[in-house]
Chain A
């Protein structure tokens, strides 16, 4: 049976909200102050052991690396691109040449998987151009899907001057 208060009146218990609101506002201030808007970042993974150049013994199975030369203008901007000594107009054309060379297939044991690209960039060239070149050779975006091309990438030793 339900109990009723002896006085006959309904008790109205009021919760003191002030401490909770204080804490909630402090929490909100903390999150607002520590908020750091971070844009998504990604990586281009490369494996470059130091002995790779020396250990690269001639092998019948081995495909010679595709050499991509990136020349810099005096201000560090990109002056010219060349693939295996042949001039290339821009990065889109570089990608087309790579696709023409290795084909669109990038599955296991494909030519794209076996082929290696060696970048020979001028010392003063702005790094953003190298990232563009790596993007051009390592894949393309088709209907929102990434189609991988060449994964083996290396650099020539730096040449100051």
Chain B
């Protein structure tokens, strides 16, 4: 037969350490969270470079073109063939002109996979040049190994 204690037992768990730890975890996740709007895609394996240090300033309204290993461009989340990006860039150019901005003031961020063909990167640059863009940022992963 089960034994019963004389009165109702009132065991209170001390919640303070758990709440402390939870708040510390939240703070940690808030700090490490990436709020930047930079377009990044996991399909791209960027080449690494010791000199590719993160820029001090923020590039204003950049156009990001990501070249995959297979030779397709990821533009605004869509997979596009290299030869077709001209039409999309034309649209960007029209938008920029509407906002009284010159295409040559915009920066094209080229996030190309390290295994992609150099010629395809050059093709992208050539198409951009034909549309009036002339500032390029070749993106690489910062490698701090000595």
Using a CB–CB distance below 8 Å, which chain A residues touch chain B?
17, 20-21, 24-25, 27-28, 31-32, 34-50, 70, 72, 76, 121-132, 134-135, 138-139, 141, 146, 155, 157-160
Contacts and interface: CB of A to CB of B under 8 A. Distances in A.
Interface string B107-146: 1010011111111011101100110001111111110001
Interface residues of B, number: 52
Nearest to A50: B129
Contacts of B119: 121-125, 158-160
A112 B78 CA distance: 40
Contacts, number: 161
B70 interface: no
B47 A128 contact: yes
A47 B26 contact: no
A70 B23 CA distance: 54
A125 B129 CA distance: 22
Interface of B (DSSP majority class) = mixed
B94 interface: no
A129 B118 contact: yes
B25 interface: yes
27 contacts: A24-B22, A39-B142, A40-B54, A41-B140, A42-B52, A42-B55, A43-B109, A44-B140, A45-B107, A46-B138, A48-B134, A76-B117, A121-B119, A123-B117, A124-B118, A125-B118, A125-B119, A127-B115, A127-B116, A127-B118, A131-B47, A131-B138, A132-B49, A134-B49, A146-B53, A155-B125, A160-B119
A24 B49 contact: no
Nearest to B117: A124
User: Which of A42, A46, A121, A155 lies at the interface centre, i.e. has the most chain B CB atoms within 10 A of its CB?
Assistant: A42
Contacts of A40: 53-54, 141-142
